[in-house]
Amino acid sequence: MNPVPTILLLSGPNLNLLGQRQPEIYGQATLADHVRRASAVAAEAGYALEHVQSNTEADLVDAIHAARGRVAGIVINPGAFTHYAWAIHDALAAFDGPIVELHLSNPRGRDAWRHTSVVAPVATGTIAGFGGEGYDLSIRALVGLCQAAAGEQIEDRGPEPGGAS
């Protein structure tokens, strides 16, 4: 039996304070609420979800390294690291599965310093501005990308011997 494929959800600095931190921007739900929702959506699609939150850039870099060759895809809300953490950019560039960048708020509609994302160039796509719904949307988008990638791998290997042509 094939092992259940895994999605890695990464949460950057200050996201541990969701529910208490600027609820007018980030909402009332806690990070645990969002992770529960993301896990349920992943499970429905047949994926396991692992979650790592850290306020430290190095921990996130290490988690991305540990995902290489093991995890099907990554959803990352890098928090403020989005805007300047080139080490996270480089770690993601060395990951070979699909990557979805996620934000609760819409950083492009906020302070000018939030308009730059160093993660966007290495992400397959970005979901921003939909609040907690973004967890649902980003997992669904990632699952679609993972399924497409898995299908391509099977095609690369050619048809199953004796299988339908």
CB of 83 to ligand DQA, least distance (A): 6
User: Pattern of binders to ligand DQA over 63-82, x per CB under 6 A?
Assistant: --------------x-xx-x
Name beta bridge partners: 52.
10
Q: Which is nearer to ligand DQA, 68 or 110 (CB)?
A: 110
From the list 5, 27, 73, 107, which residue makes contact with ligand DQA (rule: CB under 6 A)?
107
Confirm or reject binding of residue 11 to ligand DQA (CB under 6 A). Answer: no
Confirm or reject binding of residue 114 to ligand DQA (CB under 6 A). Answer: yes
Confirm or reject binding of residue 117 to ligand DQA (CB under 6 A). Answer: no
Active site residue 103: yes
Active site residue 26: yes
What residues are labeled active site?
26, 103
